[in-house]
A and B are shown apart, each in its own frame.
Chain A
Amino acid sequence: MSKEEMNGELKRIDSADQDILLVKAFLGGDRVAFDKLVLTHKDRLYNLVSWFLGDDEDSNDCAQEIFIKVFRSLNRFRFESTFSTWLYRIAINTCKNRLKSSAYRKKRKTVSLENPGPPQGDGEEIQDDSPCPFSRLEKKERVLQIRRAVNSLPEEQKRALVLRDIQGLSYEEIRDLTGWNPGTVKSRIARARVELRNRLEGKI
């Protein structure tokens, strides 16, 4: 393990301990502790949901719904996993259900016919300090290409790729979250990468 990876791991452990303290405080009646949990995890969770759903408006609503579910079911948290694993599990299930819902399918179909690109919103803004407007535009366009390509992947490949390459989770964490066996995790990540590379062929 390199020094950087070790630092990252230690940071994660600290964060997990902090989460546990906040959960206990919330269960003890401290509602501010819940706000702190939201503020700690909102961006990573929002990013995950946004890549899963590929729709900014829906992502915002879905991410809020996930935290509301957490608020209402935190008393069922058994401290058997880290809070973030539990949160991600809720997020994955909520996104899966939303993707399955007929309303979402209908909306997605309509959007793809009218405007193939993902809608732009506050949360979609790309942070870029590049002084050159052309460079900024190119970068934005590139991100849109990648998002479209990721969004066109089969659902399970997309899930594997987003968890690994966008969220940076380890193979073990992905296995815990998805319930897939280790071989499936490896093969889905590998296939997703090859598939995405093929869809973006010549654009890298």
Chain B
Amino acid sequence: MKEKYEMKCAGIKEILSQYIDGTLEDRERVAVEEHISMCEKCREELDSLRALVQELGALEPVKAPSDFLEKIHERLAQPSFPKRLFRKLFVPFPIKIPLQLAAAVAAAFLVFSIVTLQREEREILQMSKMSPSKEGTKKAQFDPVAPAPKGEQQHPGGFPQDPMKKRSHETREVVELVLLVERAGRSGLNERAVSLKAAPATEEDVREERTDSTPRRKAMIRKAPSRSAMEEESFVEGVGITSPQASRESGLKDETGIPSSPVENLSSALENLVVQNKGNILRVAYDSASGRLDSVLAEIPGQEYEAFLKKLAHLAPLRVLSPAPSDKPREKVRVRIRLLSSHEGHP
């Protein structure tokens, strides 16, 4: 009986708070009233809670300061959140310096990464955009006989060596050269009658072209016309390879008697140069869109290599993108000569 009575007390105490607030249903309210009329303990509990609630309700509210609205106006007129955040992060200087250092280091790392990874692409772009007035400067910069800048590696022929290239060179075994040539204009191609004799491409060459898929190479390599097309249209007996467009242009211009362009001379000279240096042309690639001569893959005897490069540099401004073969003497050096126009993008 006592246990039952105590349980009832526990149940009543749970709802005393709601009883004070008047939120109980009639049945519960009556049960509470009946219980407290008999139970002194619960009545005391109710009285103390009711006194507390009354006291809390009677407390004077804390009022906002008199200048509350003015302060809000002042704060609304202050700089916006991003500006305040910037100040919070960087001011005062002596305390926030680690953040600034971190930011500076991160920025430096980012710049270094971009410069290192995209160096080649940017060089090619600069060269292609270079105006004739700047060409002299660039030529001097790429002059194979000029001494390399301090700290820069130099291969036996005097060309600047890029350490990044060394690794790729070891696997590719092809020296990448870029020759800056003058074109007549954006569409007026003068490199007709390019008389370059190409030896049939070996399987090794084809494999090399297929496996090499670095972004730089992808950007540089423009597809040559298909082998069959080259055989049908580009081979001219006793002359060598001529692009289809170049052939047409050549015919027209020959008829009108327009003198041959510097590029034409250069192309012929290129062939002569390879032959003079006891080398042979392995492959000739054309730009599929414009039909321009794009690159020439040739093989030069090791002992002739340096002389070949020097003569090549006399033809037109030359840039060696990948280094010469390592110090150990080689029987033959394979070079890919790419022709880039100094007028591209400048009609």
Contact of B69 among A39, A60, A123 (CB under 8 A): A39
Contact status B72-A38, CB under 8 Å: yes
Cα A200 to Cα B23 in complex, Å, equals 25
A143 to chain B, nearest CB (A): 6
Q: Are B57 and A64 in contact (CB under 8 A)?
A: no
A16 contacts the other chain (Cβ, under 8 Å)? no
The 8 Å CB contact of B23, one of A45, A124, A171, is A171
Q: Is the interface of A mostly helix, strand, loop or mixed?
A: helix
Q: Which residue of A lies closest to B14 (CB)?
A: A190
| Cβ B17 vs Cβ A186 within 8 A | yes
Contact partner of B65 among A38, A60, A68, A127, CB < 8 A? A60
Tell me if A44 counts as interface (CB < 8 A to partner B). yes
What mask results when residues 24 to 65 of chain B are scored 1 for a CB within 8 Å of chain A, else 0? Answer: 000000000000000000000000110111011101111111
B63 to chain A: which residues have CB within 8 Å? 43, 46-47, 123, 127
Residue B75, interface by CB 8 Å: yes
What are the residues of chain A within 8 A of B72 when measuring CB–CB?
Answer: 38, 64, 67-68, 71
Can you list, as one digit per residue, whether each of B66-80 has a CB less than 8 Å from chain A (1) or not (0)? 101101100110000
Q: Mark A117-154, 1 if CB is under 8 A from B, else 0.
A: 00001111011100000000000000100100000000
Is A35 located at the chain interface by the 8 A CB criterion? yes
Interface residues of A in 181-197 (CB under 8 A from B): 186, 189-190, 193-194, 196-197
A161: which B residues are within 8 A, CB to CB?
56
Quick one: which of B21, B52, B60, B66 contacts A171, CB cutoff 8 A? B21
Whether B68 and A68, one on each chain, are in contact in the complex, defined by CB atoms closer than 8 angstroms, is no
For B62, give its contact among A38, A71, A124, A200 (CB under 8 Å): A124
Q: Flag whether A63 is at the interface (Cβ < 8 A).
A: yes
- Please give me the residue from chain A that is nearest to B52 by CB atom: A197
- On whether the beta carbons of A189 and B17 are closer than 8 Å, the reply is yes
Residues of B within 8 A of A71 (CB): 72, 76
Nearest Cβ in chain A — how far from B189, in angstroms?
62
What residue of chain A has the Cβ atom nearest to residue B49's Cβ? A193
A186–B18 contact, CB under 8 A? yes
Contact A166/B68 with A68-B76, A171-B21, A190-B17 known, Cβ cut-off 8 Å: no
Rounded to whole angstroms, the CA-CA distance of A59 and B68 in the bound complex is 11
Say yes or no: is A168 at the interface (Cβ < 8 Å to chain B).
yes
Whether B68 and A194, one on each chain, are in contact in the complex, defined by CB atoms closer than 8 angstroms, is: no
Q: Which B residues are in CB contact (< 8 Å) with A194?
A: 17, 49
* Residues of chain A within 8 A of B65, CB atoms compared: 60, 121-123
Query: Is A113 located at the chain interface by the 8 A CB criterion?
Result: no
- Residue B284 at the chain A interface, CB threshold 8 Å: no
Contact: B69 with A204, CB < 8 Å?
no
A44 CA to B68 CA in the complex, in Å?
A: 13
Q: When chains A and B are docked, how far (Å) is the Cα of A35 from the Cα of B75?
A: 14
Q: Does B266 contact A (CB under 8 A)?
A: no
Closest CB of chain A to B15's CB: distance in Å?
8
A52-77: CB near B (< 8 Å → 1, else 0) gives 00001001100110011001000000
17 CB contacts below 8 A, A to B, read A38-B68, A38-B69, A42-B68, A43-B61, A60-B71, A64-B75, A68-B72, A68-B75, A68-B76, A123-B63, A123-B65, A127-B63, A143-B60, A193-B17, A193-B49, A194-B17, A200-B52
Interface residues of B (CB under 8 A from A): 14-18, 21, 23, 48-49, 51-53, 55-57, 59-66, 68-69, 71-72, 75-76
Extra A-B contacts (19), CB below 8 Å, given A59-B62, A171-B21: A42-B64, A46-B68, A51-B62, A60-B64, A60-B65, A64-B68, A64-B72, A64-B75, A68-B75, A71-B76, A123-B62, A124-B62, A161-B56, A189-B21, A190-B16, A190-B18, A197-B48, A197-B52, A204-B48
